Amino acid sequence: MIERHPMDQLLREDRIPHIWCSGCGLGTSLTAFMSALQDTGISLDNVSVVSGIGCTGRVAGYVKLDSFHTTHGRPIPFAVGLHLANPSLKVVVFSGDGDLIAIGGNHFIHSARRNLDMTIICVNNFNYGMTGGQGGPTTPIGAKTSTTPYGNFEFPFNIPHLAAASGATYVARWTALDARRLRKSIHEALMKRGFSVVEIISPCPTLFGRFNRQGTGLDILNSYREQTVIQHGADPAKVGIEPGGKIIVGKFVDIERPTFLDVVNQGLKGKFGPPVEKPRAEELAIPSVDE
């Protein structure tokens, strides 16, 4: 008898092999997410995964869940619609740094500000992989990419700081090397009420790695071993990634804050009696905002 891998029920087997390069950190990131999701025991029927565009954006195409592959930068607002129209769904946005922090940066900060109850998994590989390795919002200063041939002249975003300052209730960062802690952290993020963010520092050997002479995917993972420092509770303002500097990982934020729907329900409490009319059959069964 062939043993089925416990992950099989979570993958669209008819879409495998995936398009990712060998040595890419995305496979590990996806595995960590799927294991974490299984650990939570959340009913898989209730989970929606939303991705944008890019190498990470392909995640939505591989998971055997309700999965939405939206336009570039827009997975968060799409997820907002899913969440608010049916608050019983567990909504996860799984996308890359370019997608979520550059073109989608506005959606990221405003959804964190509102504290919408959803989990954001942001894979940060410091460049745009899908389009050939261009510089992006997280590219470290001085780094080479296809659009920064003389080195990057821009200061990058520090994603945990951005998330924390915008109002996220859970913020953590791990590298693709530390699959065990990453899995645990995603588990926590999935169970957290509010806007939870997990940043995954991930190798892109094909492009960013090659431009910056980082070696193979394995070499990059090994370099994380030396560069990474675990500092739970570190001030998110101080975890920016400097060229050649340490990569500070850990859980930086884990706070309680009313979610958008908490505030909505509180604000509307007692304001309206039961609806005058019963909904008619043609009207769809729309879940109310009471979770």
Partner 1 sequence: MESKGAVLTGEHFISGNEACAEGALAAGCRFFAGYPITPSTEVAEHMAERLPEVGGTFIQMEDELASMNAILGAAWAGAKTMSATSGPGFSLMMENLGLGIMTETPCVLVNIQRGGPSTGLPTLVGQGDMMQARWGSHGPYEIIALSPSSPQEIFDLTIKAFNLSEQFRIPVLIMSDEVVGHMTEKVIIPPADDIKLTPRRTPKVSPEKYLPYDPDEDLVPAMALAGQGYKMHVTGLTHDRKGYPVITEEAQIELVQRLIDKIRKNRDKIIEYHEDQCEGADVIVCSYGISARTSLLPIQLAREEGLKVGLFKPIVVWPFPEERIGQLAAGVKAFVVPEINYGQISLEVERCAHGKAEVIQVPHAGGGIHDPAKVLEAIRRAAK
Residues making contact with ligand SF4 (CB under 6 A): 20-21, 24, 26, 55, 125, 129, 204-207
| 11, 33 Cβ separation under 8 angstroms | no
CB of 23 to ligand SF4, least distance (A): 6
Contacted by 20, from partner 1, ligand SF4, none: CB < 5 to 8 Å by type: ligand SF4
Instruction: State how beta strands 170-175 and 195-201 pair.
Output: parallel
The reply on whether position 39 binds partner 1 by CB under 8 A is no
Tell me whether residue 21 is exposed, middle or buried, using C-beta atoms within 10 angstroms of its C-beta: 0 to 12, 13 to 18, 19 or more. Answer: middle
Contact with partner 1 (CB under 8 A): which of 29, 56, 67, 175?
Answer: 67
Q: Find the radius of gyration of the CA atoms of the chain.
A: 20
The reply on whether position 11 binds partner 1 by CB under 8 A is no
For 90, residues 6+ apart whose C-beta sits below 8 A from its C-beta are 42, 46, 47, 48, 119, 190
The reply on whether position 269 binds partner 1 by CB under 8 A is no
| 198, 175 Cβ separation under 8 angstroms | no
CB of 73 to ligand SF4, least distance (A): 17
The reply on whether position 288 binds partner 1 by CB under 8 A is yes
The reply on whether position 102 binds partner 1 by CB under 8 A is no
CB of 166 to partner 1, least distance (A): 11
Residue type, 79: A
Nearer to ligand SF4, 126 or 195 (CB): 126
Contact with partner 1 (CB under 8 A): which of 24, 80, 120, 197?
Answer: 80
First to last CA, the chain: 43
